[in-house]
Structure 1
Amino acid sequence: MSRSAGSTGNGPGPEEPGTRWAAGEGRAGPVREPNPARVLALGFAGVILLGGLLLSLPFAWEPGHRVSFLDALFTATSAVCVTGLVVVNTAETFSTAGELIILALIQVGGLGIMTMSTLFAILVGKRITFRERLLIQESLGQLSPAGMVRLVLYVAAVTAGFEVVGATLLTLYWWQAYDMPFGLAAYRGLFHAVSAFNNAGFDVFDSRRPSLERFAGDPVITLTIGGLIVAGGLGFTVLADLGRRLRHPRHRLSLHTRLVLWTTAALLVLGTVLVAAGEWSNPATMGRLSPGGRFWAALFHSITPRTAGFNMLPMAELTNLTVLATILLMFVGGSPAGTAGGIKTTTLALLLATVRATVRGEDELVLMERRIPTLVVAKALALAVMAAGLVLAVTVGMLLWDGHSLEATVFEVVSAFGTVGLSLGITPELTAAGKVLILLTMYAGRVGPLTVAVALTRRGRRPRAVRYPEERVLVG
């Protein structure tokens, strides 16, 4: 591969194919601006469809089991959208081949379509064009197409590093502490490490004690899987910035990194306190654990809605306070440019800061001695409103066509939107209409409501030809 075109992180030079493409490759007349959002949305849809087809084939099932195409498509959507909602138990229904397909879908969905395709292109020596850099920029939520190849390589290295370390720790611990056969411990360690870092929430334990309930209060499992969840949810931009800080101690962390770290820490502390308050004396969840075990269980349940989907506590036995806290944490989710869903921590931080600035009568939003552009605040507000509208619309549809309680329905819809995977137990009982609604919600949550909207509507940016007079509107 040419060093100048494919192996550096800089944008293409004036003679590179990317620029010729942007300029029309020598053809006369304007070239239509690409719509990266549409390409990404279609890319996710294509991988989901392929995964659904593979999981609907007999070789992907355990003997004596049969999976309908709708259930296979639901499972593939949940895997690619790194959600973890399942209509059938993964370990009991799918063969090893089926589980490996799910694991591959989780990895592709977590890293993103463009990241995986770019890695493949680099391996076969293909040049990365400017159009492809724009697509990578959109998929990783970056502000500039410069340095995209370098970032993709960094993302791959970081992902592999976290997953290998996590898989090793889980393998050794389950082999020694829980007396699992080494081969089984290694397989489960790899599967759960990939699932955790990509915030997927899929597990390969049987349905007698689903997810991680058998490890409730275990500090090693909490710190290992919880640490992978948090690392994946911070976002690759933050991980790269923290890496630069480790290599160069005088490097100043970006505003984005500081905002993500502060908001993540605040939500973890607040979530742990609320879960502990709701479940400390509940004999069906944490009441049977030691005080130390209760702390670890509360901490894990504060981490997992951000948006992993593993659970150590029986979901059907949670108190109303914990259910409400979980819904709120799921709606917020993780941070941009990572493997998590939700409206994201930075969106929450910007909205709260905007409220504070409005109450104080400030005409500019300032955070950590930096002024935030109005367009960024407007985007955060639009994302939150669209997310709330999507959740409300799907909830109405679920209540009309599925018939479960309001609490369980809202929980299921928010879990699907936040690509979390937690459920109050209604997922296997969903009707065909309910499965389709949740499937579409998972897709919208992973791709992003704004991305979906842009993919469906944008025809190119057109500056306004007229500047209209200003007039105030009464608010409040």
Structure 2
Amino acid sequence: MNPKKAFFDPPKILVLGFASIILIGACLLTLPVATTNGQGLNFLNAIFTATSATCVTGLVVVDTGTTFTFLGQVVILSMIQVGGLGFMTFATFFAFLLGKKISLKERILLQESLNNLSMEGIVRLARRILIFTCVIEFIGALILSIRFSFDMPLKKAIYFGIFHSISNFNNAGFDLMGEFHSLTDYVDDPIVTLTVCGLIILGGIGFIVMNELFEYRKIKRVSLHTKIVLLTSAILVIVGTIGIFLFEYSNDLTLKPLSLSGKILGSLFQSVTARTAGANTLNIGDLTQSSSLLIILLMFIGASPGSTGGGIKTTTFTTLLGAVWSQIRGKEDVIFYRQRIEYETIYKALTVTFSGLFLVLIMTLVLTISEHGHDFLTILFEVTSAFATVGLSMGLTPELSPIGKILIIFTMFAGRVGPLTIAFAVTMRRNPDPFRYPKGKIMIG
């Protein structure tokens, strides 16, 4: 094998790219000027925070708003932005600024980074992604800044608006509200709730979908991928909202004290944010077990391909459901909108789902040993949140042992680059076997 060709392996380069960003960010967070106590974070906590920010997760071992100085918060925000869009998108942006031509290798890396099916128009897509991001984050920051200005000085409100807009569009969930409160003070505020929900949804449907919707006025059609993403996302949000509303309706610690509109807004927000965002308006530790389990399922499914979110992805989940339904009906093919899904796509969905499930179960098992003072549901919730790069927490993360922190760091990193790398690996062109073995029969079910 050509050593140069072996080095130019997109999955390896992307993994090294994310790892480099995390290491640089962690080193910056250890500086005395990064924290309010003037001592900097210890290296393990710095690595944890940098991984959580770069992998747009949102799990924190220290409170972002009270622990970090303005410089430290800007470092975290920068890692969120780069991690959410992908470092190759930023490399392309700087290439645009310098007037540099995008090489074939860079286009291949960009295609892999965006999880796009084709290299055609990939540079134009990257340019639009940057434009979409700037416009959406600006609008979100403007609305949130105006709303926050009623509760705090204008300068602080603008900064909070910018930070929370970028954090939530990138599905990161970091906040500056202090004392791990997230957005709980705005549980029944329609402006904050609906604005943040909008940012999360737009960041989670994927840039490919966003681009197709933008071009719809010209081409008057959308792809099967976009139809499945929009339908699945809508169903998951509705089902999650109804489920949380019913499970928490009589819970004195969550929805019961709120008005009907507050109950609906609180349920909607937690349903949307469970799709890999990480912000919360209800105290996650006070949720019923039914709601916690529902959120675990929503987190595991996650956002959509080519988005700022994680999880196994909406299209993967829908493909598997379609395969199961076809088997139940005795049909050979999986059909969506009068189009047949290839068997290779179904195998990919199985691979990504099983890999994610295996990682979650193994990490949960190990953490039940290292964090033996906590119950199983809490640990499963935290691991799923880390794998799906969500950031919701039942309170375990700040209390993790050093071993537990290392395990969650690995889970966050694997959750961010793992499914993407697996997806690329199984789509690479393979040489067909020169022969086929005879069929064997086994009993299933």
> Which TM class, normalised by the smaller chain length?
over 0.9
Are 1:405 and 2:378 counterparts? no
Partner of residue 188, structure 1 = 160
Q: Would you say the 8 A contact 2:31–2:39 is kept in 1?
A: no
1:454–1:139 Cα change, 3 Å: closer
Q: Residue 472 of structure 1: CA displacement?
A: 3.1
Are 1:337 and 2:306 counterparts? yes
The CA deviation string for residues 314-367 of structure 1, in whole angstroms up to 9 with x for no partner, is: 111111111111111110111000001000111110010000001111111111
Q: Distance in 1 between matches of 2:249 and 2:21?
A: 43
Q: Distance in 1 between matches of 2:357 and 2:225?
A: 24
Partner of residue 56, structure 2 = 82
Partner of residue 213, structure 1 = 184
Are 1:162 and 2:131 counterparts? no
Q: Distance in 1 between matches of 2:315 and 2:67?
A: 39
Q: Residue 405 of structure 1: CA displacement?
A: 1.4
Q: Would you say the 8 A contact 1:260–1:346 is kept in 2?
A: yes
Q: Would you say the 8 A contact 2:64–2:176 is kept in 1?
A: yes
SS at match of 1:371: strand
Partner AA of 2:359 in structure 1: L
1:377–1:173 Cα change, 3 Å: same
Partner AA of 1:57 in structure 2: L
SS at match of 1:285: coil
Q: Which moved more, 1:431-440 or 1:278-287?
A: 278-287
SS at match of 2:321: helix
Structure 1 unaligned blocks of 5 or more:
1-23
After TM superposition, list the pairs within 5 Å mapping 1:65-464 onto structure 2. 66-176=40-150, 178=151, 180-207=152-179, 210-245=181-216, 247-248=217-218, 251-403=220-372, 404-449=374-419, 451=421, 461-464=430-433
Q: Percent identity?
A: 46
Q: Distance in 2 between matches of 1:193 and 1:318?
A: 26
The CA deviation string for residues 424-455 of structure 1, in whole angstroms up to 9 with x for no partner, is: 00111000110010001001111133616977
Q: Would you say the 8 A contact 1:91–1:206 is kept in 2?
A: yes
Normalising by structure 1, we get a TM-score of: 0.90
Q: Distance in 1 between matches of 2:231 and 2:297?
A: 18
1:459–1:259 Cα change, 3 Å: closer
Matched length: 443
Q: Residue 309 of structure 1: CA displacement?
A: 0.4
Q: Distance in 1 between matches of 2:148 and 2:257?
A: 23
Q: Superposition RMSD on alpha carbons, in Å?
A: 2.0
Q: Residue 124 of structure 1: CA displacement?
A: 1.4
Q: Distance in 2 between matches of 1:87 and 1:385?
A: 29
Q: Distance in 1 between matches of 2:6 and 2:46?
A: 37
Q: Residue 127 of structure 1: CA displacement?
A: 1.8
Q: Would you say the 8 A contact 1:82–1:198 is kept in 2?
A: yes
Q: Residue 281 of structure 1: CA displacement?
A: 1.6
Partner AA of 2:100 in structure 1: K
Q: Residue 31 of structure 1: CA displacement?
A: 5.5
1:32–1:86 Cα change, 3 Å: closer
SS at match of 2:101: coil
Partner AA of 2:170 in structure 1: N
Q: Which moved more, 1:250-259 or 1:415-424?
A: 250-259
Structure 2 unaligned blocks of 5 or more:
none
Q: 1:472 aligns with which of 435, 441, 445?
A: 441
